[in-house]
Amino acid sequence: MRKRIAAYIGIIISSIYLLNFTFGVWELPDNLPIIGNLDELAAATLLIASLKHFGIDFTNFLLPNKSRKKKGE
């Protein structure tokens, strides 16, 4: 039950943060080299991990679909 609540909170917080385009209250300046984009990376990682808890897995969407291949190939 606690993991489910934590996953919901993670989805809500990361979605609000990623949709916060120009408000800039919690955001690091993006013009700083390397560390400027780490806050968006952390929010996206939190969102992907929280969605994975509910069975929505985006971690392998770029991999080829094995069900399309025939067994003889």
Per the prediction, the chain carries an average pLDDT of 81
- Residue 40 belongs to some domain of the structure: yes
Domain count, the chain: 1
- Per the structure, the complete domain to which residue 23 belongs is given by 2-57
The predicted structure's pLDDT at residue 2: 92
Q: What is the pTM of this model?
A: 0.72
Please say whether the beta carbons of 47 and 56 come within 8 A: no
- Residue 64 belongs to some domain of the structure: no
Helices (H), the chain: 2-19, 38-53
- Looking at the predicted structure, is the pLDDT value of residue 40 above 50? yes
- Residue 65 belongs to some domain of the structure: no
- Residue 45 belongs to some domain of the structure: yes
- Residue 73 belongs to some domain of the structure: no
**In residues, how long is the chain?**
73
Q: How far lies 49's CA from each of 19, 22, 35, in Å?
A: 17, 25, 21
- Residue 70 belongs to some domain of the structure: no
| Pairwise CA distance, residues 53 & 57, whole Å | 8
- Residue 72 belongs to some domain of the structure: no
